Amino acid sequence: MTAIPPLTGLRGLVRNERDREAGTPARTGSTQACELCAEPLPAEHRHLLEVTDQRIRCSCQACGVLFDRKAAAGGRYRSVPRTRRRLPDLRIDDVLWAGLGVPVRLVFFVRHEPGGGAEPARTRAAPHGLPPAAAPVTAHYPSPLGVVTTPVDDEAWDRVVRANPVLAELDTEVTALLTHRGLDEHWVVGLDDCYRLTARVRHQWSGMTGGDEVWHVIEEFFTELRDGGRPTSGSASRT
């Protein structure tokens, strides 16, 4: 189990969350540039996943469209989709949940490409992104230190998929199943949405257990999902 700091391409989210909590108007300017072509970026922009090191990178619209295809650049980069799909019929009972080995009620699951550089669980994590995949599916949850990552048992995940066949369609690497057991909510979202949520958790966390306020901002995030708007901290536009 490994704690990972915020992804380099999303460090601005922490600053945006501080502005949001302080009531500061959203910043209209941006000093960020596309990490592929150096095009200046607006405050809201797309993201790419560099598959080789599981690193999120900021992207202009043109580069985002270019890498919408998996085969582009030999599959090195993948556009993070602007997906937000609620799964109201998803069911993971206590037995299925226990098999996943996740000790928290807020978590996101990511499927990985078969043979996509899977490494033994002892592999050290990459410094600025998710660690190399140690299993076909990994579980990640926000913490005051960043994202805590752990492999998911193959058979346990297969049982969940058999109970919820829609999960077999989860796009590898760039989308996640975001689950809040306390609210009984399940969403398929782009990976960057998960890190927006992580930024909120890190900013609001207090004490040993996080405090009441951290759960308030988590519930606020899911309210925004239900309302169909981008979270106020968002760096990627919605279609």
What does residue 72 show for φ and ψ, rounded to 5 degrees? -60, 140
100 close to 152: Cβ distance less than 8 angstroms: yes
* DSSP 8-state code for residue 3: E
* DSSP 8-state code for residue 170: P
Contacts of residue 97, Cβ cutoff 8 Å, sequence gap at least 6: 181
Give 10-residue mean pLDDT values along the chain (239 residues).
47 48 47 88 88 84 84 76 93 94 93 59 35 71 84 95 94 94 94 89 76 86 85 38
Task: Determine the Cα–Cα distance for residues 239 and 228; give it in Å rounded to an integer.
Answer: 11
95 close to 163: Cβ distance less than 8 angstroms: no
Task: Determine the Cα–Cα distance for residues 200 and 54; give it in Å rounded to an integer.
Answer: 21
Report the pLDDT value the prediction gives residue 5, as an integer from 0 to 100.
Answer: 43
Contacts of residue 224, Cβ cutoff 8 Å, sequence gap at least 6: 230, 231, 232
172 close to 138: Cβ distance less than 8 angstroms: no
Instruction: Tell me the C-alpha to C-alpha distance, in Å, between residue 202 and each of 17, 19, 73, 154.
Output: 10, 14, 34, 30
pLDDT per residue over 17-68, tens digit each?
444 454 444 444 446 899 989 999 888 888 998 887 778 889 999 988 888 8
Task: Determine the Cα–Cα distance for residues 186 and 212; give it in Å rounded to an integer.
Answer: 22
Q: Domain ranges in the chain?
A: 2-227
Instruction: Tell me the C-alpha to C-alpha distance, in Å, between residue 101 and each of 98, 104, 139, 153.
Output: 6, 9, 9, 8
- What pTM was computed for the model? 0.77
Report the pLDDT value the prediction gives residue 68, as an integer from 0 to 100.
Answer: 82
Report the pLDDT value the prediction gives residue 139, as an integer from 0 to 100.
Answer: 94
